[in-house]
Amino acid sequence: MMFMNITKSPIVAILSYRKATIVIYSLDLLKLMGTNIASDIVSENHVCNEQKLWRHVILNAFEDVKILAGDRKSSLNKCDAHFWIAKSKDFEQICWWAGWEPENVRYRYAKALREGLVKFKRRHFLWHEYSKLFQRLKVEQDKDIRKELRRHLENKRRQIMDADNVYVNHNILD
């Protein structure tokens, strides 16, 4: 009776015992986050499950800003994550809920931008601008303004299609 589960691997036995979910993040992300935050992640040093949840929300945003693809959906996810990390008050609150200081997390993000660990192409920002114009068009009632917005959308679409595949080097935190 004692050796009934001998065929199970040690990992399966541990997981069934702990009923744990293992989340694997890239080494690049852990390096980007710095030693204090990375050690919290690796050691699963969280007070409660809610704190763990908020930490993973922040880490997912950092994963999103590392997206390199220039298609519409990827660009919107990347820009949304960028502006959320860089400028949102909600981000600050979530950092506190995660048990991390927002200034430290933003510092790590700004450092990653400076060092080129997080890169943006012109196309990423053009898709973001296109999306904002499209949202304005959806709610606009005035026909003349709608016509003007459609013209701007067509121009923005052309800019996106003509945009080169080069990374932008200017300070995008401003």
Does any domain span residue 15?
no
Does any domain span residue 7?
no
Place of tokens 């943006």: 120
Does any domain span residue 1?
no
- Domain ranges, residue 139: 26-168
Q: Quote the tokens at residue 148.
A: 């003007």
* pLDDT for the residue numbered 1: 47
Q: Give the dihedral sign, CA 110/91/100/78.
A: negative
Could you read off the pLDDT of 104-119 as tens digits, one per residue?
Answer: 999 999 999 999 899 9
Is 60 exceeded by the pLDDT of residue 2?
no
pTM above 0.85, yes or no: no
Does any domain span residue 90?
yes
* pLDDT for the residue numbered 32: 82
Could you read off the pLDDT of 135-148 as tens digits, one per residue?
Answer: 999 999 999 999 99
Does any domain span residue 8?
no
The count of structural domains within the chain is 1
**Which of the two residues, 14 and 43, has the higher pLDDT score?**
43
Average pLDDT, rounded, for the chain? 85
CA distance 126 to 122: 6
Give the pLDDT band of residue 170 (cuts 50, 70, 90): low
